[in-house]
Amino acid sequence: MTKVKAVFKTDQGKVRQNNEDSGGTFVNQDGHLLAIVADGMGGHRAGDVASQMTLSHLQKMWEQSEGIQTADQAGAWLKTHVLQVNRLLFEHSKSNQECEGMGTTIEAVIATDHFTTIAHVGDSRCYILNDSGFKQLTEDHTLVNELVRTGQITKEDAEHHPRKNWILRALGTEKDVKIDIKTIMFEEGDFLLLCSDGLSNKVSDNVMVQILQNEDSLEQKASSFVNIANENGGEDNITLIILEFVDEIELGDDK
């Protein structure tokens, strides 16, 4: 039987005065895992309010939940609770002047023994490494990605576009938000990587694959990601979660 091992790591980076990213992994009443990466944005310190509110609400709701057996149920749970968070943030920003315009990305993944369901808003990312190779499972909700998708600029142009950081979709910035939900099946030996753009902007796909495939522990892999992002400039906060799908016997040996 396949089980999930997880590691979470966040780092302020080398430039920012504070860390506006939030994240973590949480277990519900049935022992199923919820992994979250949220990259906050907004006025002075409002980004960390947005990401922290998102994390604490989803953690609380998840730890109370049970009975999620199917991908449809997981998708419905994510949609309901991410929409709740969106309204909470939107109302908070309206009633607290210092938080006006705040928002956050969200990468939320429910991992059970049989499937993994992803909820995605913004430009944080979820990647998979499996027998088919390395692939980004999410679509960035950014201006440059939209320009690439519609053929107006190339992927190479996007790297250096002056509006590279313009996000088209985030939690908390509007009353309603469209959430991308996707379910994948996985096998023993697969990895999922969730990360904020502080990592994906600084570490190439090839290096990501090298780190995930090496013999290091999950903790060492996570540290390698942060170190390389910082070596390459570290201008943004860096947050990641690695999920590894392992055989339950191997997990027993690992304890």
Model pLDDT, residue 160: 83
**Residue 14 covered by a domain:** yes
Sheet of 191-195, strand order: 2-11, 238-247, 191-195, 125-130, 133-136
**Residue 153 covered by a domain:** no
Model pLDDT, residue 155: 84
Angle of CA points 88, 93, 98, to nearest 5°: 140
Model pLDDT, residue 108: 98
Q: Considering all CA atoms of the chain, what is the largest pairwise distance in Å, rounded to the nearest integer? A: 53
Return the closest-CA partner of residue 89 out of 101, 78, 77: 101
DSSP bridge pairs for 35: 25, 109
The per-residue pLDDT for range 97-115, each reduced to its tens digit, is 989 999 999 999 999 988 9
**Residue 160 covered by a domain:** no
Residue with tokens 């089980």: 3
Model pLDDT, residue 255: 42
Q: What's 99's domain CATH number?
A: 3.60.40.10
**Residue 93 covered by a domain:** yes
Q: Check if the beta carbon of residue 196 is closer than 8 Å to that of residue 105.
A: yes
**Residue 219 covered by a domain:** yes
**Residue 216 covered by a domain:** yes
Residue with tokens 């990587």: 193
For residues 196 and 230, give the distance between their C-alpha atoms in angstroms, rounded to a whole number. Answer: 14
Residue with tokens 């780190």: 211
- Give me the sign of the Cα torsion angle 109, 110, 113, 116: negative
Three-class SS of residue 173? coil
pLDDT block averages, 10 residues each, the chain of length 255: 89 94 97 97 85 98 97 98 98 92 96 95 98 96 92 87 87 96 94 97 97 97 98 97 85 49
Q: Check if the beta carbon of residue 205 is closer than 8 Å to that of residue 143.
A: no
Is the full-model pTM beyond 0.85? yes
Residue 226: give the domain boundaries.
2-139+169-254
Phi, psi of 152 (to 5 degrees): -80, -30
Model pLDDT, residue 43: 65
| Overall number of domains in the chain | 1
Tokens found for residue 7: 């590691």
For residues 221 and 198, give the distance between their C-alpha atoms in angstroms, rounded to a whole number. Answer: 16
Query: Residue 114 corresponds to which amino acid?
Result: H
DSSP bridge pairs for 219: none
- Whole-number Cα distances in Å, 109 to 24, 77, 181, 184: 11, 11, 10, 11
Chain centre to alpha carbon of residue 56: 15
**Residue 82 covered by a domain:** yes
**Residue 106 covered by a domain:** yes
Residue 11 CB: number of other CB atoms within 10 A?
23
